[in-house]
Amino acid sequence: MVLKFIYCDEQNIGATINMTLKITNLAILSIIIISCSSSTQLTDIYKDETFAGKEIKKVLVLGIAKEDWKKKVYENEFRSQLLKHNLEVLTAWQELPKGEDLNKETFKKYFNDKNVDAVLVVIAAGESTEETLYSGGASHVYMGFYGFYFSTASVFYSPGYLSEEKIVHMKTNLYETDEGKIIWSARSQSYEPKNTKEVIQTVSRNVVDELYLAGFVK
């Protein structure tokens, strides 16, 4: 009878250890997936309190990046988000002739009669890599009373690992057009984005949400 008890418990202990190892591996995998999944944070948010409450009805969106196709993606995605707030939105790639930069003179030349209230400038600010070291360690598999016969402290070790994340940086500035002063600004960091479109979709949504909370869009 005693031998039978021990045999059954040995099987149970083996199953317990296997199950614990599986759970631990799944937990580590979940941490890796979460740490490497795409997310965006806004930082260094500035708001001109003196401009708060003034209604913005028409916005010009200008994307600044090395590649022309990225500028177009920036402007189109921000336009889509701003249109949800019943604004009239112009994009520089459609309104400015090719080769023209937006400055005081070209703004007066092409937009003076368009009643633009604000210019939203979206700037590609480069990329960086961040490394995080997750340490491993020893864990105990706690047994029932009969497991005590086999091991008073069964231990397994989970190794540490290094997580490397790609970060895409952007800056967004909102200018009013009467005096040309900045009335809102923020930086963004997007972690492990799949592509440019995913970055700008998330950034544009977060930025426009912040502009809504700040009262610049209704």
Query: What are the residue boundaries of the structural domains of the chain, listed by start?
Result: 2-214
At 44-58, the pLDDT tens digits run 899 998 886 677 899
Q: Which long-range contacts (CB under 8 A, 24 or more apart) does 131-140 make?
A: 131/162, 131/163, 131/164, 131/165, 132/35, 132/162, 132/163, 132/164, 132/165, 133/160, 133/161, 133/162, 133/163, 134/31, 134/35, 134/160, 134/161, 134/162, 134/163, 135/160, 136/160, 136/161, 139/20, 139/24
User: 37 or 57, which is more confident?
Assistant: 57
At 148-193, the pLDDT tens digits run 434 444 444 555 555 567 788 889 999 999 888 899 999 988 876 6
